[in-house]
């Protein structure tokens, strides 16, 4: 499907979706509470069929966090980017690890690096950081580590 067709289709599924212009792929901004139902539609709808979640990450904008999901379809070969704004002091979003199994590891990484709490995640523990790690999340912009970080 072309970007225009995708746009029409997704507006049908989620009228509240806000589209972002200028990117290479169709980019959609959604509210965190809309994510799980939309994700199920994106994965299971035959004309969309986004079965490959190839990138899941988060961006710290200092005022808020943004979750970014890059999806593509192995059947239709179209791509889509989903973004969701999260509250920085209490970031929460539903997990999609039961829809795309790769999300399980990627969400654990975002959990420890950004402190995003994935609701209903089966195994939300530290993955890369050492056991007993306490304190701030390393990839947030206000993270300081005077011993290991050298300012250039």
Summarize as ranges the residues that interact with other proteins (CB under 8 A). 22-25, 51-55, 57, 59-60, 68, 70, 74, 77, 98, 100-102, 104-106, 109, 122-123, 127-130, 138-139, 143, 149, 151-152
The nearer residue to other proteins, 147 or 149, going by C-beta atoms, is: 149
Q: Please, what is the minimum distance in Å from the beta carbon of residue 130 to other proteins?
A: 6
10: phi then psi, degrees, rounded to nearest 5? -75, -30
Q: Please, what is the minimum distance in Å from the beta carbon of residue 101 to other proteins?
A: 5
Residues with Cβ within 8 Å of residue 4, at least 6 apart in sequence: none
The nearer residue to other proteins, 40 or 54, going by C-beta atoms, is: 54
Pick from 1, 23, 98, 101: which is nearest to 68 by CA? 23
Please list the alpha-helical segments (H only) found in the chain: 3-13, 35-44, 103-114
- In this structure, how many other beta carbons lie within 10 angstroms of the beta carbon of residue 49? 17
Between the two ends of the chain, the Cα-to-Cα distance in Å is: 46
Q: Please, what is the minimum distance in Å from the beta carbon of residue 50 to other proteins?
A: 11
Q: Please, what is the minimum distance in Å from the beta carbon of residue 110 to other proteins?
A: 10
DSSP state of 130: P
Q: Please, what is the minimum distance in Å from the beta carbon of residue 17 to other proteins?
A: 18
Q: Which SS3 state, helix, strand or coil, does residue 133 take?
A: coil
The nearer residue to other proteins, 90 or 150, going by C-beta atoms, is: 150
The nearer residue to other proteins, 12 or 145, going by C-beta atoms, is: 145
Q: Which two tokens stand for residue 44?
A: 């299971």
The nearer residue to other proteins, 4 or 77, going by C-beta atoms, is: 77
């Amino acid at each position: 499907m072309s970007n225009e067709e995708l746009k029409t289709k997704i507006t049908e599924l989620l009228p509240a979706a806000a589209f972002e212009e200028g990117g290479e792929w169709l980019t959609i901004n959604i509210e965190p509470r809309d994510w799980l139902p939309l994700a199920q539609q994106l994965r299971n709808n035959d004309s969309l069929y986004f079965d490959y979640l190839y990138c899941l990450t988060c961006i710290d904008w200092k005022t808020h966090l943004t979750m970014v999901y890059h999806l593509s379809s192995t059947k239709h070969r179209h791509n889509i980017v989903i973004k969701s704004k999260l509250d920085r002091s209490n970031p929460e979003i539903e997990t999609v690890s039961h829809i795309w199994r790769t999300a399980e590891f990627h969400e654990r990484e975002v959990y420890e690096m950004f402190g995003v709490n994935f609701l209903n995640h089966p195994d939300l523990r530290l993955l890369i950081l050492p056991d007993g790690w306490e304190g701030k999340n390393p990839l947030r912009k206000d993270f300081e580590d005077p011993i290991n970080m050298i300012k250039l």
